[in-house]
Chains A and B, each alone.
Chain A
């Protein structure tokens, strides 16, 4: 069976409210919808980097420290 890639879903105000409430964070009134739009834009912009598609399986956050020394 071939797995079908997921299509990105839009964040909803309800989802944001639920997720924050689960962490004990109360949203200021009227914020959930704006936040949902902002998340969507930010994560889409971040995911647009073509480098992501070539990110090696072995890559870890600590690799950045090695790169800083290598790129001096």
Chain B
């Protein structure tokens, strides 16, 4: 009539982890967001920032000025400049929306006015290029001969910077959406309450999420690193073992944060709010898409200690710079403090029903 536990089933921790893995792989949405989406993002960004000729400056000449068409034609001959004529009434809006980088107002007797936004680097570049072309056309002679030696080597391109950032972002996203949402959804379905009514160990339940996370982590990191290497030649300069350690540590600590975000909400809507509250600053300050070094100096020590920034920095040090574990000690410690604290608080606050 009755059997002992281990004669028929594996340990509850293993059975719980298997259940998590099955739920995940049978949910097409979850699989896409975990594996497909980061690759789609990498392709899109890789194409957007591929090794293309340097972008041209888009300039417009005041159509009402004498000789405007002729000047436009002359400037357009410069390979760094795309020039057209435009009515002044249109210029303000075109400048504001970035359709043109510079508006040129020539006069009959010589002086030229440049209208642009000095904060936009594209506009400053356009001003330099257009001014040089106009000066040369008017007879200026360069006194120093200069030649360009342009390089695009793997390791120093945007995609090389981007890929570790995408891995970090994905580790964070999978933890928050994959773990946090699964927990809140189980609570909403009263599944947590049902499990709490069994002799199941509550620690086993929480651990099973960590274990299932680690299984998929390997897949995610391999997919992104492999994709970057095959398609964009993005190198991993450090050791694969260090990369594995950093990813695993980061995934565990972000799972701790996900558990905290998921500790109380009863509905996925509320959980979504918490998730966005946490992730929005991470997207902005975490340095996945662009370096956070441009933020004010005083804020940098704080930004560096944020979970996603620390994870991205550690991944970049390993992948781009080829550094070892000792060099990422600060980042791992910062992640450890965030994740550890979050997990401890989550355990205390956790709502089973």
Verify that A and B bind, or say they do not: no
B residues with CB within 8 A of A: none
A residues with CB within 8 A of B: none
